[in-house]
Structure 1
């Protein structure tokens, strides 16, 4: 998959997991640690209320998409990140913020 295909798949997976039709924005908080272990949680806004996103309704393939995205974007030691925030609007517009969290990295290293 290309990066654009991955972004599209993630966005579609989030959108499909939202049951309400009048949501205004959604967010997926992503962690990639160790040897590609992926975790994520999310939420979305309806009116002025934040609702937890049921990650069970997101396709299981999202873990593979996120691993692949991490692999592509960090290839050759560039753009080092272990957290990301994927933001989505109902019209399909999205943004993604890649974050390096040293504390998370250190916690993982201690466990290894």
Structure 2
């Protein structure tokens, strides 16, 4: 799967999980830890500026595989390390994905793995 296909699948999953017909923007917060354990949660803003949570139960479980694959592709060769990402999507279909390295999260995982 290409990066563009992964982005498209993530975007479609977000849209399908939104329970309101009228919304302006959505955000999915993603964490990738170690060999690919993925967690995510999100929210969206209605046209009335009400912020609501995205029910992760309504997001395809395949999203975990897509995120792991995206992580593998984008961090290949130990470049562009990230363990958090934010996928922003507007109702017109435009999106942005921000990749973040959270050193504190990394240090916590390393510490816990040694216990």
Q: Scaled by the length of structure 1, what TM-score is found?
A: 0.98
- Which stretch shows the higher mean deviation, 43-52 or 58-67? 43-52
RMSD (Å) for aligned C-alpha atoms: 0.5
Equivalent residue, structure 2, for 1:85: 86
User: How many Å apart are 1:67 and its aligned residue?
Assistant: 0.1
Give me the whole-angstrom Cα distance separating, in 2, the residues matched to 1:79 and 1:34. 15
User: How many Å apart are 1:21 and its aligned residue?
Assistant: 1.1
Give me the whole-angstrom Cα distance separating, in 2, the residues matched to 1:5 and 1:70. 14
Q: How many residues align?
A: 112
Post-superposition CA distance 1:46-70 (Å, at most 9, x none): 1121100001100000000000000
Post-superposition CA distance 1:25-79 (Å, at most 9, x none): 0000000001110000000001121100001100000000000000000000111
- The runs of 5 or more residues in structure 1 that have no matched partner are none
Equivalent residue, structure 2, for 1:43: 43
- The runs of 5 or more residues in structure 2 that have no matched partner are none
